[in-house]
Amino acid sequence: TYDYVATGAVGTDAIKVAIIYQPSTVSPVGTHAILDSSVDPRFIDTKSRPVLAQSFTDSSGSAFTVAVNHLKSKGSDCDDVGDPDLGDGAGNCNVTRTSAAEALVVWLATDPTGSGDSDTLIIGDLNSYDKEDPIDAIVAGSDDTAGTTDDYTDLIRLFQGEDAYSYVFDGQIGYLDHALASTDLV
C-alpha cells in the first residue's frame, strides 16, 4: 500500500526526515534532492535536519514537489552560532530557523529535483507558529516580498482558520507542523 523515497542516510542527527507515499496515487519523478549546509550555508544542518525534496506525478500526469522539513527546535540553545533566546516569545534559535526557511524557499525556486514544475508543498515540523519569522519568510517566497507570485500559503490556516491547532501544551494551543503550498499548487 505504501512505499518510501529511498535516500540512504541523510544528515547526522538521530531525527531524520522521510517521505512515505501511496504508489497507487502518485509516482516519484526523477531523483530526490537534499538541502543542507553544503548547498546553502544559511541552512545550518547541525541544527536543522537536512530537507528532503521529491517530485511526483499524480494519475492525471500533473507534477508537484514535496519538501519535508524538521527545523531546529526551540528547546535547546543556539548560543554557539550567536542566536540566543531574546525573550521575545520566539524561543531559542529563531534566527537559525528563519535563515533555514529563507534558504529553503530560495533552493526550491531553483527546481532542485528538475521537475520543471513550480507546484511545491512544504511540509513538516518547522518549530514555528504561523505568525513567527520563519513562517513569514516562507510565505514571502524566494523574493522575500509578500504578495508576489512566488509566495506560499499556510494551508492549515487557510482551511482551518485563525484558531487552528494540533496540540495543547501548558494550557496553550498552536501548531508547529505545517503544510505550505506554492501559489500555483493552491
For 12-39, what is each residue's pLDDT tens digit? 988 899 999 999 999 999 999 999 999 9
Which residues on adjacent β-strands are paired with residue 51? 35
For 65-120, what is each residue's pLDDT tens digit? 999 999 999 989 999 999 999 999 899 999 999 999 999 999 999 999 999 999 99
- Residue 48 neighbours by CB distance under 10 Å: 31
Categorize the per-residue pLDDT at 172 as very low, low, confident or very high, splitting at 50, 70 and 90.
Answer: confident
| Look-up of cell digits 517530485 | 55
141 contacts: CB under 8 Å, gap ≥ 6: 105, 109, 148, 149, 150, 151, 152
- Parallel, antiparallel, or unpaired for β 49-58 and 26-35? antiparallel
CA atoms within 13 A on the CB side of 65: 28
Q: Tell me, what's the pLDDT at 170?
A: 81
Q: For residues 38 and 58, what is the distance between their CA atoms, to the nearest angstrom? A: 31
- Residue 128 neighbours by CB distance under 10 Å: 27
Q: Does the predicted TM-score (pTM) go above 0.85? A: yes
Q: For residues 87 and 119, what is the distance between their CA atoms, to the nearest angstrom? A: 37
With left for phi above 0 and alpha for psi between -120 and 50, is residue 30 left, alpha or beta? left
